[in-house]
Amino acid sequence: MHIHNISKENSILNTFISEIRNVTIQKDSMRFRRNIERIGEILGYEMSKSLNYVASTTETPLGNCKIDLLNNDIVLCSVLRAGVPLHNGLLNYFDTAENAFISAYRHHKHHPESFEIIVEYLACPNLENKTLILADPMLATGQSMVATFEALKPFGTPKEVHLISVIGAQEGVDFVKNNFDSSTHLWIAAIDDKLNDKGYIIPGLGDAGDLAFGEKLQQ
């Protein structure tokens, strides 16, 4: 797997990462959503450098201009509900992409420390020979990302796969590395060292879905 940790180089991305982590600033849900959207835009821009381009000519009011334009057939798939602001940020840049949505959540059977990933709602176009962008803001254990990809397999085999996350734990990064094809790209804004005993990223930021859209009753 090709792992692109964007935080290795200083940029304005640091500001947005700092604000979504900050225990005071993150309480403003509108600002939190907007910062996730901004991070999605930055990750999408960085990812775009690895895509395919074709020579084109654009007519201006004063003449013709040669320029290389994106030539990928993109499907953007996000994990509900936390993935919605990240999806919007990516869609701001890849505005002609097809869209897919999937729900994946942790189901705790007996103990808070153990869980399985349940996939329910799924809406997806044909993926055959397309560029799949799979977006989930928090890459904790990595199980949700793998379960989501497995659920998408009946819709066709993508030509290439790009994973997009805001914050991940090293354990989750290692898990997806071991469960996706070596040609897969992971674009991530920050990688933290560890998970706690409940599978949450430390220091992380908390529950991205709750911070973006309000607390849920289900645990």
What is the CATH number for 147? 3.40.50.2020
Residue 171: inside a domain: yes
Peptide bond into 81 cis (omega under 30): yes
Residue 218: inside a domain: no
By DSSP bridging, strand 160-169 and strand 185-192 are: parallel
Phi/psi for 84 (5° steps) reads -60, -50
Nearest to 207 by CA among 54, 35, 27, 9: 27
pTM greater than 0.85: yes
Nearest to 132 by CA among 164, 153, 160, 167: 160
- In which domain, by residue range, is 41 found? 2-213
Residue 136: inside a domain: yes
Residue 219: inside a domain: no
From first to last of its 219 residues, the chain has per-residue pLDDT tens of 999 999 999 999 999 999 999 999 999 999 999 999 999 999 999 999 999 999 999 999 999 999 999 999 999 999 988 999 999 999 999 999 999 999 876 655 655 555 566 777 899 999 999 999 999 999 999 988 998 999 999 999 999 999 999 999 999 999 999 999 999 999 999 999 999 988 899 999 999 999 999 987 665
d(CA 16, CA 83): 16
Residue 30: inside a domain: yes
Structural domain tally of the chain?
A: 1
